Structure formats: C-alpha cells, structure tokens
Structure 1
Amino acid sequence: MRTRKHFPFLISLALVLGIAATTEASEMNKETTLDARQKAIVTIAAFTTTGDTARLKPALNEGLDAGLTVNEVKEVLVQMYAYAGFPRSLGGIWTFMGVMDERKAKGIEDEMGKEASPLPADFNRDAYGARVRADLSGLKEVPKEDAPYQKFAPIIDTYLKEHLFADIFARDVLTRQERELATIACLASLGRAEGPLGFHMGAAMNTGLSKGQMHDFVKVLDAEVGKDEADSAGKVLAKVLEARK
C-alpha cells in the first residue's frame, strides 16, 4: 500500500521517465525524419524537374529560410541538368534569380555560403568517378567487369564517371547525401525512371539516410509534390528495402 510519503518519489520518478521518454522520442525522430533543409532540397529538385515555377518559387524561399545557403540552392539547380536536362535546370536558375531579387528588395540578406574547393591539377576524373559510383553502390572495390550497358555504349560510361560522378560530385558545396536526396526527388518527379530511382534510393541509404528518412521522403512527395509521384516512389522504395535485407 502506497502512503503519502511515497508521492514525492513517485512524482520524481514519473518526471525522470517522462524526460527520458521525450529524449528518446526526440532522438528517434532525428533518425526517422528529414530536417527542414533536406525537405527543401526535395521540393526544390522536384519542382525544377517538372518545370513548375509557380511552386518552385515558394520552395526556394522556404529553402533559404530553412538555412540553405544561396550557393547550396544554386548547386541543386545546376545538378538537375544532369537528370532533368538543361531547359529545366536553367528554368530553375531564372526562377531563383527572381526570388533573390525579391528578397533583396525586402531587405533580406541571405548567406552566400562557400564556393566549391579547387581540384588538384592531377585530378583523375575517370578514377574518381569510378570510385564515387562504387561507393554509392555500396561496393568496397571498383568492379573490374563492365556492365552490359557500359560495353554497349562505352561513351555513356565515360560521361557518367568523368562528368556526373567526378565534375559534379567532386564539388563540395553539397554533400553526397544531399546530392542523392536531390537526385531521388528529381527521378521520382520525372516519371518512368524506376530503374535509376531504385539505384539512387539505395545510394541515398549508402550515404547514411535511414529507412525512416526514406519513408519520410515519400511522405514529403505526397504532401508537397503529388500523390502519383509518392505512390510510385513508395513502390520502388519497398523493393529497395526488401533487396537490402
């Protein structure tokens, strides 16, 4: 039987357990959700891909307000040309220029952020790109045997290694994880790109995005981009997660 003298102890215990539970929930939340900057990368990449400048404009503002630097936003927009094409990338850049003019007129001073670090004179783009692709694939070693598409069209393999995974990925304005997040947002919005989307979803997880964060990515698509895009991405993600078991 509990007496009144036990009440202070029980209250203290409840408070301690409550604080512990809140802390644990907070830590779990960090592991299972994307933060505001990451969500902004998703929407910026998605609306640049679809050419939806009406929705891209607020997404750009939200990204800057969430802490993305001007150069980080530029980098997402530039990278989109590799997946969505120059017209979409340039359209996004023009939209961003307009957003920056409006923010300056309102007296908003956004952080420019760092520029890309210079590459060494002896930078081996082929070797670097091959290593990056292997890392994103989750491989410890660069494959010695070419894939069928590499044998069929060797020049596309050169472009992938030397340009996409070297020229672009070597620019340290964004992390590999941020680049992969932008890529899967682009591919999910592009449509009919389930194969590349599956590869890059796996790559995104190989850069450190958790299973929960990947599910949250689909939720962001559903809430901000479109149900069809989210449903399609969710199906691809389910296959990726099953294959990773």
Structure 2
Amino acid sequence: MNTASTQTPALTNVESVCPALAHLTQSALLDGVWKRPGLSMRDRSLVTLAALVSLDQTRELPYYVNHALDNGLKPGEISEALVQLAFYSGWENAVDAAVAIQSVFAARGIKTDQLAAVSPKLLALDEAGEAKRASNVSQQFDAVSPGVVQNTTDLLFRDLWLRPGLAPRDRSLVTVASLIATGQALAVPYHLNRALDNGLTHAEAGEVLTQLAFYTGWPRVFSALPVFKQVFEQRAANAQ
C-alpha cells in the first residue's frame, strides 16, 4: 500500500527556511499548475518525471513516482521512460533515477514482470522515413563521428523508438520534456514535430511548457518558446 503519495514534497522542511516558497509550492504548483485542464494528470506526471530525471534531481523522485502511479502511469511505462531518458539525458541520470525509484516499486510490490522488457517485439518500422533520416545524418556526420551515426541508426531509431513499452506519443512527450529540461533547443524542432505527428496537440504541447516552467525554470522554457512558435507556424503554413 502506498503511504508516500499523500505527502507533499518536503514542505515542512521548506517552511522552516522559506515559508514563502512553501506557500507557493502548495498554492501555485500543487494546487495551481497541476490542476490546470490542458494536460491530463497522467501526462503532467510523465513530463515532470522526465524533467526530474533529466536534471538528476532524485531527492523528491519517490514522491513524484508515487503520484504518477496514482495518476494512472503504469510501472512498465515509468520503467520504459528511464530507458528513453538514458539515451536523451545521459546514462547516469537514468541509473540514479532507477536507484531512487526502487524503494517505491518495492513498497508497492511491483515485480520485474511488470517492468520494461529487455528484448520486446518491436513496433513496425517506417522503412522509407528511416532510410531518409539515416541518409541525411550519414551525409552530414559520417566524416565526424561514424560511431555516433551508426548507433543513432541501430540503437535509437531501429530499436529504442520502436519499443512498445511507451506509446509513440508518450515516448515523444518524454523526449521533448527532456530536451527542454537540458536546454537542447536545437534538437527540439525534430522531436516536437514528431510528437505532434504522434498525436500530441498544439494545446497540449503549449501546456507542457507551462508545467516545465516550474520544474526546469523559466529561462529554459522561454528559450523553448520561440522554437515551439516556429514549429507551430511552419506546420500551419504547410497545412494550407
């Protein structure tokens, strides 16, 4: 049985040092942004976990994992998100997160057969689209780092992105959140377009930024705003 998910994140300790911050945590964050209607609670949990893992902020991770499970994320989806985030935010961030989450899974009696499979049957590959992507990357960067180019094809786009443990929309959501959290604006257009192609709406994408402003800081989100605006405008122009 879960006991941690009803506890707000360290507010007693915060209040003794900065009561204004404790008040804002409750009023603006927990009772504010988390209750906005633009994203489901499940999606907000997924975005928040992606940000915390990407920034290696593991102290409050058990609270947010409990919250995510209560909000409908499955243990296997959380486990699969760590696989995705290992590639997009760095291996040690994902490992640190796994260690922090272990106690939550143990307390809830979550077994390994509920988690991300080691070698699942992969989703179907868009052969034409992947061939075009691989060719473009190869032409640009084979002479710079053939190892990165090869692993991008073999490990990311012919394996990671085809794993069924996360729906394509959710995998894109995790990736976009991670890129924003780590300030990787150059990589956002490709993955935001992919997220929109995978079913994320413009309104939901905008609300992702609202959520991330609190967990990654306003500067990172304001750095992403022009990128989102450009993607939205280009897609609207292409649709005409």
Instruction: Give the TM-score normalised by the residue count of structure 2.
Output: 0.71
In structure 2, what is the equivalent of residue 187 of structure 1? 179
Deviation of residue 196 (structure 1)? Answer: 0.6
Write the letter of the residue equivalent to 2:233: E
- C-alpha separation between the residues in 2 aligned to 1:240 and 1:234? 10
Counterpart selection for 1:212 from 198, 203, 211: 203
Write the letter of the residue equivalent to 2:132: V
Unaligned runs of 5+ in 2: 1-36
- C-alpha separation between the residues in 2 aligned to 1:45 and 1:73? 9
Partner of 2:104: helix, strand, or coil? helix
In structure 2, what is the equivalent of residue 37 of structure 1? 42
For the pair shown, which has the larger CA radius of gyration, 1 or 2?
Answer: 1
Partner of 2:121: helix, strand, or coil? coil
- C-alpha separation between the residues in 1 aligned to 2:97 and 2:188? 21
Partner of 2:53: helix, strand, or coil? helix
Query: Deviations 1:166-216 (Å, cap 9, x if unpaired)?
Result: 22122101111111100011111112x111122111111111111111111
C-alpha change, 1:102 and 1:228, in structure 2 (3 Å) is farther
Q: Which runs of 4+ in 1 moved over 6 A?
A: none
- C-alpha separation between the residues in 2 aligned to 1:61 and 1:161? 35
In structure 2, what is the equivalent of residue 87 of structure 1? 92
Write the letter of the residue equivalent to 1:40: S
- C-alpha separation between the residues in 2 aligned to 1:232 and 1:209? 20
Moved more, 217-226 or 82-91: 217-226
Deviation of residue 129 (structure 1)? Answer: 7.4
Deviation of residue 218 (structure 1)? Answer: 0.5
In structure 2, what is the equivalent of residue 161 of structure 1? 153
1:63 pairs with 2:68 = yes
**Does the CA-based 8 Å contact 2:47-2:174 persist in structure 1?**
yes
Write the letter of the residue equivalent to 1:226: G
- C-alpha separation between the residues in 2 aligned to 1:69 and 1:63? 8
**Does the CA-based 8 Å contact 1:194-1:236 persist in structure 2?**
yes
**Does the CA-based 8 Å contact 2:53-2:94 persist in structure 1?**
yes
Query: Deviations 1:67-97 (Å, cap 9, x if unpaired)?
Result: 1111110110121110111110100111110
Write the letter of the residue equivalent to 2:221: A
- C-alpha separation between the residues in 1 aligned to 2:79 and 2:223? 28
Partner of 2:200: helix, strand, or coil? coil
- C-alpha separation between the residues in 2 aligned to 1:46 and 1:118? 26
1:50 pairs with 2:55 = yes
Q: How does 1:171-182 map to 2 (within 5 A)?
A: 171-182=163-174
**Does the CA-based 8 Å contact 1:130-1:161 persist in structure 2?**
no
- C-alpha separation between the residues in 1 aligned to 2:163 and 2:84? 10
Percentage of identical aligned residues:
25
**Does the CA-based 8 Å contact 1:34-1:213 persist in structure 2?**
yes
Counterpart selection for 2:121 from 112, 119, 122: 119
Unaligned runs of 5+ in 1: 1-31, 136-140
In structure 2, what is the equivalent of residue 142 of structure 1? 132
Partner of 2:158: helix, strand, or coil? helix
1:200 pairs with 2:191 = yes
1:235 pairs with 2:226 = yes
**Does the CA-based 8 Å contact 2:51-2:215 persist in structure 1?**
no
In structure 2, what is the equivalent of residue 9 of structure 1? none
Deviation of residue 51 (structure 1)? Answer: 0.6
Deviation of residue 230 (structure 1)? Answer: 2.0
